[in-house]
Chains A and B, each alone.
Chain A
Amino acid sequence: MDCIVIDDEKMARVIIKTLCDQIKSLNLLKEFSGAIQAIKYLDINKVDLIFLDIHMPNFSGLDFIKTLKNPPKIIFTTSDPKFAIEAFEYDFIVDYLLKPIELKRFKKAIKKVERELLVQSQLNKDEEPEIKNDFYVNIDRRLIKIDLTSIYLIEAKGDYINIKTEDKNYVVHSTLKKIEEKLPDLLFLKVHRSYIINVKKIIDIEDNSVLIKKDVVPISRSKRAELMKRLDLL
Chain B
Amino acid sequence: MEQPNLDYIEQLARGDESIKKTLIDVIKTEFPDEIKDYYISLELKDFKKIESNVHRIKHKFSILGLVKSYNKANEFEHSLREHQLNLKEHQDFDKILTAISEYLKTI
Contacts and interface: CB of A to CB of B under 8 A. Distances in A.
Question: Do A and B assemble together?
Answer: yes
Contacts of B22: 14, 18
A15 B62 contact: no
Contacts, number: 46
A55 B30 contact: no
B19 interface: yes
B55 interface: yes
Q: Is the interface of B mostly helix, strand, loop or mixed?
A: helix
Contacts of B63: 11, 15, 100
B26 A19 contact: no
Interface in B6-40: 8, 11-14, 19, 22-23, 26-27, 29-30
Given A18-B19, A18-B23, A55-B55, A11 B12 contact: no
A158 interface: no
Chain A contact patch, size range: 10 to 19
B79 interface: no
Interface string A42-84: 0000000000000101000000000000000000000110000
A208 interface: no
B59 interface: yes
B26 A102 contact: no
Contact of B62 (A22, A55, A99): A99
Contacts of B13: 18
B11 to A, nearest CB: 7
Contact of A14 (B8, B26, B62): B26
B23 to A, nearest CB: 6
Given A10-B26, A10-B30, A11-B30, A19 B59 contact: no
